[in-house]
Structure formats: C-alpha cells, structure tokens
Chain A
Amino acid sequence: MAQAGKGKLNYRCPSCFLRDLDIDMFYDKEKDEYYCLRCQYCGSEADVLEKNEMIRFRYRAMAKRFDKFDFD
C-alpha cells in the first residue's frame, strides 16, 4: 500500500475537533477515506462533511444577530 497523502482540502478530524483538537487527516486512496492519526475516526469525504455540520450543534446562536449585549 502506498503512503497516504492529503486531499484537496486539509480536512480535520471531526471527532477530535469536538474535543478541541485540530488534527489534519490523511487520505487513503485505496479505501477512498480520510483517517485520523490520533484517534480511530475514518470516513469518506461525505461523512466528514456531514460530521462537520453536526459539530455546529453547540453553536446555537451562530446565526443570530445580537443588538444588545447587556441584561439591563
């Protein structure tokens, strides 16, 4: 098996991202999947993108525009 490389973009591991770790994933062209060097996550590009959407669950106010910053 040839060595892994990077994909067209440097996808980070979504599982590690959720624990505040930015880890670039590497691409295994034989399996057509990205995999994490630090944890056991591996998945297709579609799976990475889906998990990246899921990550945003914690940003509940991400799309809300605030015009008041105190509680007076």
Chain B
Amino acid sequence: MEFILNLIHRPEMVPEYAEKVTGHGKVEDIGRKALLTESLDIFKTQQEIAHKNGLKVTIQMTYASLFNDEAVALAKEHHERYGDEIALSLLGLPCREFREKYKTKDFCIWMFSMEDKKEIVNDVFEKFHERFGFYPESTGSYYMDADLINYIEEKYPMVKCAVATCWEEGPKAYHTCNNSWYTLFDGGPWAPWIPSKQNTHAPAADASEDCGLVAIPHLSRDLIACYDGNGSNFGTHPQNVLRGMIYDTKTWEYTYLYNLIDQYRSLAKYNNGYAYNMMFVGPGWMNKMGRWEAPYELLLKSYEDGCAYYGKLKKEGALLDMTMSEFADYYRKKKRYTEPECALWRDILYGSDKQLFWYCDPYMRACVNMDQGGAIVDLRPYAAKLKWEVGIGTKHVQDASYPFLIQEKYRAGYFTHYAGEGTVRSAKVSCNGEETDLCLCRTKAHFSEEKSEDGVVTRVLTLDPVELEFDGLTVTLQTKEYFEEGSGSIRIERRILEMSDPSAKVEINEYMVACYGTTEYPEDMTGITLACGKDGEEKRISYEYRCREESLAGAAFVSAVIPAIETKVSMTCSAPDAKGYVREGYAFSPMFTLGYQKTMTEKEAISTWLRLEKAN
C-alpha cells in the first residue's frame, strides 16, 4: 500500500479573499504594502509548518510573487534546503503588474480568450525562467482546459504535472457563493489522471490521446458530502472543514479531517495498492483577521494539525510525500491508460452509513448509489471525448463542466414531484399489478476484481441481496455490476435468489432515464434520436417532446444518439426474449428512457449492458 501526498503552497501576494475581507471599508488597493507583507508572512508560516513536520512542498510561484525578490529567494532557499520543488501556478495572477499589462480584473486562466491564454502563459513562464534560470515542471490552476494544456505542452514540454480541476466545483459552489463564484467544472476525476488532448476531464485512452502531463485534482474531496453539497466544506483543506463548521467550538477538534484522510488511504484497496491526497491551502485562508467565524488562532491550529497528521503518517512509514513532478513520474510508472480509478466510499460525516461507488476511466465516470439499490446516479460519457472550448470567444465562457447523461441532484433522480421522471439507471420489479423500484432498497456493496484468460481485468461490485415485498410474495434479488476495463460499458446482473412462492413470476424492467446538460436547467432535446432494433429492423423516434414510445420483442439493442454532446448510449440484454423499448419525454419531463422488460422466475438471472460511444 502506498499513500502519496502532494503538499502545495503558493506565495500569493494578493490572496483571494484577503483584499475583500481585510479591506472592508477601504477602497480596493491590491498594491498595499500591508497586504503584500501579510501575504508573504502567511506563506512563510505555511512553509515552516510543513518543514517542521518533515514534509516536502511544491512551491507554486504566482505571477505576482515573481516580482517579489524575497519570495523568489525563499523558494530558492527552500528548494536547496528541503528539496521543495519550485513550480509555477496560473492562480494568483492579480497584482498591479498584471492589471496594468492586461487591462482586466479577470484572474481565472481558463476564462481568458485563447489569444490571452497564450500571451499570459508565455509571459509567466518566461518571467519564471528569468527569475530562476529554468522552466517549471509543474503548474496548475483550479481548472485547465484542454486547449490551454495543449498549448503549454507544445511550448513548454518540460511541464509534466498540473493541478487541472477541482472535483465537483460547479453549480453547487456557484450557489454557495450567492451565485458569484464562476468556477463551473463538474464532471471530472477526483484523483490523479492523464487528461486527453480533447477534453481535460476525460482521461486519455492511449498514448495518442495523452496530453503530455499528469493532472492532479485541487484537493482531495469527500466523495459523498461534496457531491451532495458545497464542495468547499469537505476536503483535505483544514480551513475548508472549518468553513463547513465541522468542528467542536469548545475543543477546536475536527475529527472529520482525519477520517477524510484515512478514507482516502483506504482507497488503495481498490486501486492496485495506491492512494493519493493533495493539500493546497491558499494564503487567504490563513488571514490574520480570521475567516468567517474562525479566528486566526483556529485557522493556524487547523493547518498545523493537518500537517502534523500527515507528518505522523510519514514517520510511521504510511505516507510518501512527493513533489508534483516526482509524483508525475511515479504515476506514469504505476498506471496504465485504461486502468480505472475506483472508490467505494462511505459516509463519514452524517451518520448514515450511505455508500457510493465512483468509477472513472477514459470512457466514463459513473457513480453507483448503494442507498438506492445500486442505481447509477451520475454518468459522464467520456467516450465522446467532447471538444468543449472554454473562455472568452467560445460558446462556453465559464462553463467547463463535462456534460452528464445522468445527474441525480440536478435532474431529480428517482424522486420527482407529482409528474415526470428524473435521471437514473435502475430497475423496477412488478407482480400482479404491484410495482417497486430497486432505488428504494438500501444495501451495501463489496469490491472485487476478475481477470479473464486474455488478461482483461473487470472490477466487480457485489451488492448484498435485497428483499422485495409484494402482496403474498417475497422476492430476494441480488445485483452485481461489472466494469470491464477498456470496454466503455457497464454490465448489470440481477439474479433472483429466492421467492417465497417458487412457482411465481415477476416482471423486471431494466431502465435508464437520461437527458444531457451541465446545470440544473433543461437543454433542448430536439435532435436526439431514439431507436430499438434487431436483424435489420429498426424503430426510431426523433425527439419532439411528444411522449411517444416504441418497442420490439427480442430487441438486439435500444439506443439514443445525442448530437449536442456527440454521444451514443445504448443498452443490450442477455435474454433473447426480452422486450426492448425507448420512450420519448415531454416538455414537463425532458428526458428519454431506454429499457428492457422480461418475465423472470426463481434462480433466473438477467444481464444488461449500458454502453457509451462517440457519435459523430
């Protein structure tokens, strides 16, 4: 088991938040001497805490800090003395020099026009070279779009590692900040990956798609709490935990932070013996004025405690601290392109025992919810490797999220109000006019791997059996979900283990309700084509919100092509006698449904495959 830590600091001469917070009641002045002095002091404090605990740091120089002789000297000294890596961040652009040169208050690199991105990259990389005599091997921002990464790799191929997304920092974070924080990039990996040249979120499937660097997420996030709520409260960022008020106000204890780190350590079990954490606290979070309810002393204590815990793990031989570039080398040796990242994650905060399974590979990101009987509640079709330009001058100035087909929070999931359906991949079971959905069966899953004779590895989720109660009949059913590496598909097997009346028959309806989008709000479904077919026979529906349905006994496939996201999603079934169907939605329920129905008896099993492909 290897647990890797990337600890990152940035000397940000004008920390995010600091000017807003400390400067309340004053006219904005980002060149104030007091602000610059305090910023550098925070950086020094963070460095001291890390080194005191024997931890190596990646120092991400900001553009502003490159104009500060003391910050540059400190970075050089700490590189020599502690082995810290001197890297370059594309965060922290705001400073007097930047504003005078670029005549803008924009500060998020992915939102600039491509022309400006290139100019800024050239500017900061050359300034870095001027100050240090070499180019950086690591860089990053909250998000780095594919065009930006491709440009950096073309111009500065020595860059091997970058912070390239912040997990599920999208509409939820936007709302938390009173709709004023425009970091919209849901749908990416939660753990390191090699981005494809086409889309940063989607991992490369092979060397031809490899963008040239290893990406790491900005922080390691709670895979339940962040998906459900404000991401900025639940990560390996001690002050984020304070932001979430997840601490005892009397004792200043935050047990949750250690549980979070430990749960990440436990993920080695699902990822070939490897687990990862990233901690990156910007200086604005250690402001002398305090941050919201937390006084400076608590902010400081939480950072000291966080580093101390990592330091303790290192001393015990349970943690390897690496710089970002060291990690990139490690990761490239450790992972093959098609190898997925898996996380069977439990609730460690709300006391619910809820369990999710997250899966990410070059073809999809999927979330399976064991509190809903193993339903797929989030699905991103990476197989499409969607080219999605972001920034000024593109169709998506701010929205960098990878589109979903299923998103239970933004598009209802199982529960809807009064009418319509929400996005989910589940199954209904019916008997004599009664019907239930596996979404209503809370269960737990167990992870295993199977290797075929030709060496293909399949990750398997085996769910504890659930009981379905009908009038006079109890059905015990088990679900297994198979993620075959490199296949772009998920096989779901349902097996009826037992029925209280062995001669009884039930009908199973394996279904997927889906749509597409990146936010809570519906997109235009016109242009989507639904089809079911077999042996050259095909029935089609061209989406017009008319609530139509087509079906075919013994269908070889049911499918939907969604041109807006260049995606084809299909289902196939193991039972030749199953009826395949497709359903169009309507204006109040802008969804489509794919499914198979079949009568089942005791001991019988049925498998369906959900497959994702690029549709040109």
Contacts and interface: CB of A to CB of B under 8 A. Distances in A.
A17 B25 CA distance: 24
A55 B269 CA distance: 35
B245 A52 contact: yes
Interface string B214-229: 0000000000000001
A43 B350 CA distance: 28
Contacts of B290: 9-10
User: Which of A6, A10, A24, A69 has most B Cβ within 10 Å?
Assistant: A69
Contacts of B229: 20
A71 B352 CA distance: 13
A12 B263 contact: no
Contacts of A10: 21, 290-293
B292 A65 contact: no
Contact of B259 (A20, A66, A70): A66
Contacts of A38: 178
Contact of B245 (A17, A60, A71): A17
Interface of A: 5-6, 9-12, 17, 20-24, 38, 49, 52-53, 55-56, 58-67, 69-72
14 contacts: A5-B24, A5-B25, A20-B172, A20-B230, A38-B178, A52-B249, A56-B245, A60-B351, A61-B256, A61-B349, A61-B351, A64-B259, A65-B258, A66-B262
Nearest to B179: A21
Nearest to B267: A69
A62 B346 contact: no
Contact of A61 (B245, B295, B350, B445): B350
B263 A66 contact: yes
B318 to A, nearest CB: 14
B344 A70 contact: yes
Given A63-B248, A64-B259, 17 more contacts: A9-B293, A20-B172, A22-B177, A23-B178, A49-B249, A56-B245, A59-B349, A59-B350, A59-B351, A62-B247, A62-B255, A64-B351, A67-B262, A69-B262, A70-B266, A71-B346, A71-B355
Contact of B176 (A20, A53, A60, A61): A20
B256 A62 contact: yes
A52 B447 CA distance: 39
B396 interface: no
A20 to B, nearest CB: 5
A65 B259 contact: yes
Interface in B306-352: 344-352
Contact of B446 (A49, A65, A72): A72
A59 to B, nearest CB: 6
A66 B258 CA distance: 9
Minimum-distance CB pairs A-B, first 9: A60-B351, A71-B444, A61-B351, A69-B266, A66-B259, A69-B263, A10-B292, A20-B230, A9-B290
Contacts of A56: 245-246
A56 B247 CA distance: 9
User: Which of A5, A38, A58, A71 has most B Cβ within 10 Å?
Assistant: A71
Nearest to B266: A69
Nearest to A37: B178
Contacts of B105: none
A9 B346 contact: no
A52 B355 contact: no
B308 to A, nearest CB: 16
A55 B175 contact: no
Contacts of A58: 350
B126 interface: no
Nearest to B443: A71
Contacts of A64: 255, 259, 351
B253 interface: yes
Nearest to B24: A6
A53 to B, nearest CB: 7
B223 to A, nearest CB: 11
Interface in B421-477: 444-447
B540 interface: no
B245 A11 contact: no
B480 interface: no
Contacts of B246: 56, 59, 62
B293 A11 contact: yes
Contact of B178 (A22, A49, A67): A22
A24 B7 CA distance: 30
Nearest to A16: B178
B446 A70 contact: yes
A63 B389 CA distance: 44
Contacts of B294: 9
A11 B249 CA distance: 14
Nearest to A48: B293
B255 A63 contact: yes
B243 interface: yes
